[in-house]
Amino acid sequence: MNKLSLSYGRMALCALTVATGLVAMANGASATPQLTKDNGAPVGDNQHSQTAGPNGPVLLQDVHLVQKLQRFDRERIPERVVHARGAGAHGSFTATEDLGELTQAKLFTKGKVTPVFVRFSTVIGGSGSTETARDPRGFATKFYTEEGNWDLVGNNLPVFFIRDAMKFPDMVHSLKPDPVTNTGDPQRAFDFFSHIPESTHMLTRVYSNYGIPANYREMNGSSVHALKFVNAQGRYTYVKFAWKSRQGERNLRPAEVAAQQAKSTNHATADLYEAIRKGQFPAWDLTVQLIKPEDLGKFDFDPLDPTKVWTGVPERKVGTMVLDRVPDNFFEASEQVALAPGNLVPGIEASEDRLLQGRLFSYIDTQHHRLGANFQSLPINKPLVPVVNHQQDGAGNISGRKGSVNYEPSRLAPLPASPHARSSALPLSGATQQQGIAKTLNFRQAGEFYRSLGKQDQDDLIANLSGDLKRVTDKDILHTMLSHFWKADAGYGQRLAKAVGADAEAIAKLAATLKE
């Protein structure tokens, strides 16, 4: 799919608009747009309700009044439970390498241009929350490819708090406001994370200055999860994706956060849209890291664990994305865009990452809840290629399907599948189970990240994290959390213990009992 296809679509839309106008004028209507009801009928009076005489009650037969109130009452769709606060922009992705030896995905053909829509977001806060919150940032990209839509759904940080989707609802509940007071409470979050040692790496990154990016343009992105590239022979390679900002990466220090909050709670959205309107189109390079299936067991950590980065695995640039258009309607684009890691195309598959496996269901399900069964027919979600299947009916269906055959297989109206789109074969052994992964290594990468920071960034991390730890009144929770950070790096733990006035010797003894 290329820019010519987009231009063709826009030309068709313009032709339809002109044709509609010609019909209107042929019927004697004015060329100037006029106010209408939802059925297209003109409105006679938009200032006064119909009443029974000059002093009587308002009449139910005033269809225009009733319709306005009905639609007003239904303007809000359910807010996203997570990633509610966000903003999006249109653009394009240009492949700079041909990856045919690795994947059948046609967007990775050198020189191919694929339209995209990107939605940036915070995670925990509601739709009216501040964009200076300490929080991961969503970085989700919808590629409108010639074989359907591919959604690369990720964050600005390369890891996550948990490794199993079973924990996801509880994690979010702990981070959301207290259900009694409706206010945030770090003790509730740390109470949860004190039982989840794998969270140490992500917590260290979130409480560093990377936890509050300066804006969306100067922010990197990551798939977090491993996916699979699958080639024409059905052979697969594990892959992680990362977006590298061409504007550079910049984050806010504690004093800068306070200054920004005093000026605006919408700074990131305003910065993105203002840059695009000025023609300063932000760009990101897309890179991949690759691991062959036979090499998966050679690491001393589990590469499919989303709490880990792939240390020592080289990155390879495969394309560049440019955002160059602000949506005409914020709600129709940024609020109704439905991004889900289950939206995959031939040549790209999900890995066995346990958190990703749960998200394959959860993200599609939440879009069905928010937007209805036909959410993928909305313009922002609609693929550029025809959708041909026997899904049918439901609220808001505009598919226009025809014919008596709404099933498959059929001799009356054959609808064959595409053999090249079959799933790859995964060798399996063993029995079903419910237990953790073997190679946990919960603390080491957190320590490595801490030591990679410069002195000023380390100081800011200690200040940011200790500020919330001081609000923990339960001694067991506090000491357990401090022992996790101590296990990651003794100097890191010592500084935090001192900052919150905890017994360093007791923390050291507790850390010594932890398994790496």
Express each pLDDT in 260-284 by its tens digit: 988 999 999 999 999 999 999 999 9
Asked, for residue 430, whether it belongs to a domain, the answer is no
pLDDT over 70 (residue 227) = yes
Asked, for residue 382, whether it belongs to a domain, the answer is no
Asked, for residue 211, whether it belongs to a domain, the answer is yes
- Per-residue confidence (pLDDT) for residue 398, from 0 to 100: 86
- Final residue belonging to a domain, choices 340, 360, 377: 377
- Per-residue confidence (pLDDT) for residue 32, from 0 to 100: 87
Mean pLDDT of 488-507: 98
Which element (helix H / strand E) includes 257? helix 254-263
For residue 343, which of 145, 160, 164 has the smallest C-alpha distance?
145
Asked, for residue 195, whether it belongs to a domain, the answer is no
- Per-residue confidence (pLDDT) for residue 30, from 0 to 100: 52
| Percent with pLDDT over 90 in the chain | 91
- Per-residue confidence (pLDDT) for residue 18, from 0 to 100: 39
**Co-location of 206 and 140 in the same domain:** yes
Tokens for 270, please give them. 């305003």
| Average per-residue pLDDT for the chain | 93
pLDDT-derived band at 92, boundaries 50, 70, 90:
very high
* Torsion of the alpha carbons at 483, 489, 493 and 494, rounded to the nearest 10: 130
pLDDT-derived band at 31, boundaries 50, 70, 90:
confident
Please count the structural domains in the chain.
Answer: 3
The catalytic site residues sit at 83, 155
Asked, for residue 317, whether it belongs to a domain, the answer is yes
**Co-location of 261 and 121 in the same domain:** yes
- The bridge status of strand 283-291 relative to strand 316-325 is antiparallel
**Co-location of 25 and 92 in the same domain:** no
Q: Exposed/middle/buried for 457, CB within 10 Å: 0-12, 13-18, 19+?
A: middle
**Co-location of 332 and 241 in the same domain:** yes
pLDDT-derived band at 9, boundaries 50, 70, 90:
very low
Q: Cα–Cα distances in Å, from 258 out to 246, 253, 296, 306, 460?
A: 27, 9, 44, 31, 14
- Final residue belonging to a domain, choices 377, 394, 422: 377
65-73 long-range CB contacts below 8 Å, 24 or more apart? 67/37, 67/38, 71/38
| CATH number for the domain harbouring residue 300 | 2.40.180.10
- Final residue belonging to a domain, choices 377, 395, 424: 377
User: What is the per-residue burial (b if ≥16 Cβ within 10 Å, else e) of 188-225?
Assistant: bbbbbbbebbbbbbbbbbbbbbbbbbbbbbbbbbbbbb
pLDDT over 60 (residue 29) = no
* N-terminal to C-terminal alpha carbon distance within the chain: 48
**Co-location of 353 and 208 in the same domain:** yes
pLDDT over 60 (residue 20) = no
| Residue-level length of the chain | 516
**Co-location of 9 and 141 in the same domain:** no
* Residues 88, 333: Cα–Cα separation, whole Å: 7
**Co-location of 145 and 292 in the same domain:** yes
pTM beyond 0.85: the answer is yes
Domain that holds residue 16: 1-29
* Torsion of the alpha carbons at 380, 386, 390 and 396, rounded to the nearest 10: 30
**Co-location of 110 and 247 in the same domain:** yes
* Residues 144, 429: Cα–Cα separation, whole Å: 37
β-partners of residue 94 are: 113, 320
Asked, for residue 141, whether it belongs to a domain, the answer is yes
**Co-location of 235 and 103 in the same domain:** yes
pLDDT over 80 (residue 129) = yes
Asked, for residue 235, whether it belongs to a domain, the answer is yes
Lowest mean per-residue pLDDT among 234-243, 298-307, 389-398 = 389-398
Asked, for residue 394, whether it belongs to a domain, the answer is no
Question: On the CB side of 179, how many CA atoms lie within 13 Å of its CA?
Answer: 4
The answer to whether 492 touches 443, Cβ cutoff 8 Å, is no
